[in-house]
Amino acid sequence: MEHLDLGPFPRVAGTVQLPGSKSISNRVLLLAALAEGETTITNLLASDDTKVMLDALAKLGVPFTRDGDTCVVTGAGGAFPAKQADLFLGNAGTAVRPLTAALAVNGGEYRVHGVPRMHERPIGDLVDGLRQIGARIDYEANEGFPPLAIHASQITIDAPIRVRGDVSSQFLTALLMTLPLVHAASGTTTIEVEGELISKPYIEITMRLMERFGVKVERDGWSRFRIRAGVRYQSPGRIMVEGDASSASYFLAAGAIGGGPVRVEGVGRLSIQGDVAFADALNQMGANVSMGDDWIEVRGIGHDHGKFAALDMDCNLIPDAAMTLAVAGLFADGPTTLRNIASWRVKETDRIAAMANELRKVGATVDEGADYLTVTPPAQLTPNAAIDTYDDHRMAMCFSLVSLGENGVAVRINDPKCVGKTFPDYFERFAALAQP
């Protein structure tokens, strides 16, 4: 399908059972592959990003069986059996970064590559960190970017490993997940983060999941992390993947814009994902939000004039869900400013530039900077805009919201199949809630 026409849909209501979290799914798959024992993973996300991770694990000699959203992985006990592999990882940062680290200490010859956009997403800070312990990694094209050629090498940890934290939290996640497998002279591996660590909730996810597999991370603030060295992950037996909190944001915003009630099931106050804080942001904007342990429900905007209260927010802790706030800003009573979002520049596309371009198509005035975006809504949205999605799943899902509510308009989403990266049946779920 080259495009999808939506709306307008004045009312939205219903319940959505969320697919598994992409961030948790790919972390759990790698931890289960490296662990000792058999791990049964339930509610595993079925998407492009998890497919490339599973394909990679198969090439690396890790046995698994999959039946629907359940996957049983037989762990390799700390090292992948295959010592040579060519791994195509699409545009999955949650696969490329952690696998690069794991392969660098695995003692083999590997090639890691992906789609053209992945070859524009930086990985140099992670490679620099791995080279500090003796890893041999070459760039095949542009310095600091995939494709990578990873070679067998002598890995030695005799000093703290330093890594930048202000480009992507996935670099630190990759080191944290891999380095427990490596012996260190002192018995402990230390990672020191240079600069501001962004997206801290994603590091929390990493540490919580590592602990489920028997490895505890100690930290001093967000600048120094310590792990016992030379240990093996142990399978927890069974582990369930939480619903995807980033994906929840579209349905929660839909409930606010389109009246609701809309309930999402699979995340709530017990979630380990930082993007559940999106519900607090909606609350600040005037939506009626209620939450249980594993569900969140939103009803329409509480303001008499039917518009969101404008928001000025530091979005460092919810970078993915913040994109939904940018589109919600179209329904606000003034300018909405999202700050501390520099990481958008190195995602599936340059999301600050992409959001600015597409928001202008529906009539918004947009001011963009290196790390912020201000959206001033129009008096009336421009109908029938053709929204380009830049092969970015979140662009497609965000802009579906333009079609909702009393002030929503018809909109065309180009290349809607890009949602397959994390949520292949998103538009079917969306249509089940939307009421013409």
Residue 282, domain CATH: 3.65.10.10
**Whether residues 15 and 76 fall in one domain:** no
Asked whether residue 345 falls in the same domain as residue 206, the answer is: no
Determine the pLDDT at residue 243: 97
The reply to whether 116 falls in a domain is yes
Three-state DSSP at 290 gives: strand
Domain boundary (175, 194, 227) is at 227
Same domain, yes or no: 208 and 259:
no
Report yes or no on 393 lying in a domain: yes
In this prediction, residue 13 has a pLDDT band, given cuts at 50, 70 and 90, of very high
Look at residue 234 and tell me if it is in a domain. Answer: no
Same domain, 41 and 127: yes
User: Among candidates 318, 291, 129, 314, which has minimal Cα distance to 205?
Assistant: 318
Domain check: are 123 and 210 in the same one? yes
pLDDT for position 251: 98
Beta pairing partners, 14: 262
Looking at the structure, tell me whether residues 10 and 34 fall in a common domain: no
Supply 42's token pair.
């339930």
CA angle 287, 288, 294 (to 5 degrees): 115
> Given this model, what pLDDT does residue 197 score?
94
pLDDT digits (tens, 9 = 90+) for 402-412: 999 999 999 99
The DSSP code for 35 is: S
Query: pLDDT over 90 for what percent of the chain?
Result: 97
Alpha helical stretches, state H, 35-162:
48-59, 93-104, 124-131
The set of catalytic residues is: 320
Q: Is the pLDDT of residue 280 over 90?
A: yes
Q: Are residues 217 and 307 in the same domain?
A: no
Share of the chain above pLDDT 70, in %: 99
Residue 305 has pLDDT above 90, yes or no: no
User: Residue 144 — very low, low, confident or very high, per pLDDT cuts 50/70/90?
Assistant: very high
Q: How many domains does the chain have?
A: 2
Residues 409 and 426 in one domain: yes
Same domain for 203 and 258?
A: no
The mean pLDDT of the chain is 96
Reply yes or no on whether the pLDDT at 301 is more than 80. no
Note whether residue 233 is domain-resident: no
Arithmetic mean of pLDDT, 397-424: 97
Question: How much is the pLDDT for 304?
Answer: 45
What gap in Å lies between CA 266 and CA 264, rounded to an integer? 7
Instruction: Identify whether residues 163 and 187 lie together within a single domain.
Output: yes
If asked whether residues 208 and 266 sit together in one domain, one would say: no
Q: Tell me if 368 is assigned to some domain.
A: yes
CB under 8 Å to 129, separation ≥6 — which residues?
161, 162, 163, 171, 175, 191
pTM reported for the whole predicted model: 0.92
pLDDT, tens only, 54-109: 999 999 999 999 999 999 999 999 999 999 999 999 999 999 999 999 999 999 99
Residue 172 sits in which domain range? Answer: 22-227
CB 49 within 8 A of CB 391: no
306 pLDDT higher than 90: no
Angle at 54 between CA 131 and CA 65, to 5 degrees: 135
- 13 and 53, same domain (yes or no): no
130 in any annotated domain: yes
A 10 A CB-CB count for 129 gives 24
Q: Domain boundary residue among 227, 257, 291?
A: 227
pLDDT band at 242 (very low <50, low <70, confident <90, very high): very high
Residues 204-241 pLDDT 10s: 999 999 999 999 999 999 999 999 999 999 999 999 99
Which 3 state secondary structure label does DSSP give 403?
helix
> Is the predicted pLDDT of residue 139 greater than 70, yes or no?
yes
pLDDT of residue 302: 55
In a domain, 232, yes or no: no
What is the average per-residue pLDDT within 190-198?
Answer: 95
